[in-house]
Amino acid sequence: MRRPLEDVTILAVEQYGAGPWGTVHLADLGARIVKLEDPGSKGDIGRYVPPFQEGEDSLFFETFCHNKESISLDLRSAVGRETFERLVPHADAVFSNLRGDGPAKLRITYDDLKHLNPAIVCASLTGFGMTGPRAAEGGYDYIAQGMAGWMSLTGDPDGPPTKSGLSLVDMSTGYAAALGMMCALWRARRDGVGCDVDVSLFETALNLDMYVTTWHLSRGWEPIRTRNSSHPSIVPFGNFPTADGWVVIACAKQKFFENLCGALGTEWMLEDERFATMAARSEHRDACTAELEAVLATDTTAHWVAALAAADVPSGPIYSIAEACADPQTVARDLIAETEHPVLGTVRQVRSPLRMPGAAEELRPAPKRGEHTRQVLQELAGMEDDEIDRLAEAGAFGDVEV
């Protein structure tokens, strides 16, 4: 079976996290992702992120850039621009993650490139978008988590504003950019006309506030932090301490609370007007939680996980990363991929969650900087060796030997 995106070619002016995260999933589905790496900055900064970094290779870069190709190209030079414009007619999209004013400065917007390819899609992932008073500002995941209200919602009530443990704004915006780019590409193939796709960290993070902003904007609701990461309105729904660890319990329906009471031996709570309904439990959150915590503290996490699963109560242990990677579901679904890297040795990482026929079974190591320069120029732009050599001598590829 053909790979889902094997007829898609994307020129990626990308670096670090959010942008490469979006395109790596497209690469795993067969898209040809050609990284355009700036020789002046020695390529994608992700190559140099510690720990586990050696020279221009790092495990960070492997995570974001396996299954991709790399060419070294100075887009700010005349010869580099000339080379880039030879590639654009043979690509489906030009993708970037820069500051909001970056695409216009590099002349990689749709208006800049439509004369070369009317169907080209120009997707830009930025900190704050390509317009507005913050367009030229640098944006990072931490900043977006703070400005979109995430940190004000995260952590215990008496603690400081807290970020999530992972760069979830970066990752979510990468997914959003990939989705937007592929939707625009579909329309371009249908109608023959491309466009700009404008996606930002801030807007993605604000959008992911979801119902919290709807409640606030529509009814003036002011969010509060909740103890042990519990749900703001559904009780019980959160983290509960056991005799030796923690368990997550998620009673999003009345029947699950009834099942929980059966598993814990607290059926009396169903007759107590404080706990009998979802609305009552929300009003008497602290009392309900205290009763459940007292019972859960009497036995181990393993005991309760088994008991709750048998009673059909949505729940699970709070794992470490090591435990998550060793879970039987992880093993059964073959979620860990293994590749051999010429510098880093054996690299083990989690596969893309996008499973379908034709998705990558084996991962190729991330490319060396500029590794595919000659190959891409020959295959996409139809260049001959002597022309590539001329461009190399003129400095189009910087210090990379092609």
Rounded to a whole number of angstroms, the distance between the first and last alpha carbons of the chain is: 34
Residue 311 is encoded by which pair of tokens? 């009673």
CA dihedral defined by 11, 13, 17, 20, rounded to 10 degrees?
Answer: 0
Which of the following is catalytic: 28, 38, 44, 170? 170
Side chain identity at 249, as an amino acid letter?
I
What are the phi and psi torsion angles at 123 (to 5°)? -100, 130
For residues 335 and 317, give the distance between their C-alpha atoms in angstroms, rounded to a whole number.
19
For residues 179 and 184, give the distance between their C-alpha atoms in angstroms, rounded to a whole number.
9
The answer to whether 206 and 173 are in contact (CB under 8 A) is no
Q: Which helix (H) or strand (E) holds 3?
A: none
The answer to whether 257 and 282 are in contact (CB under 8 A) is no
Q: Where are the beta strands (DSSP E) in 157-309?
A: 195-200, 237-241, 246-250
CA dihedral defined by 107, 111, 113, 117, rounded to 10 degrees?
Answer: 170
What are the phi and psi torsion angles at 347 (to 5°)? -115, 120
385 assigned to active site: no
Residues with catalytic roles: 170
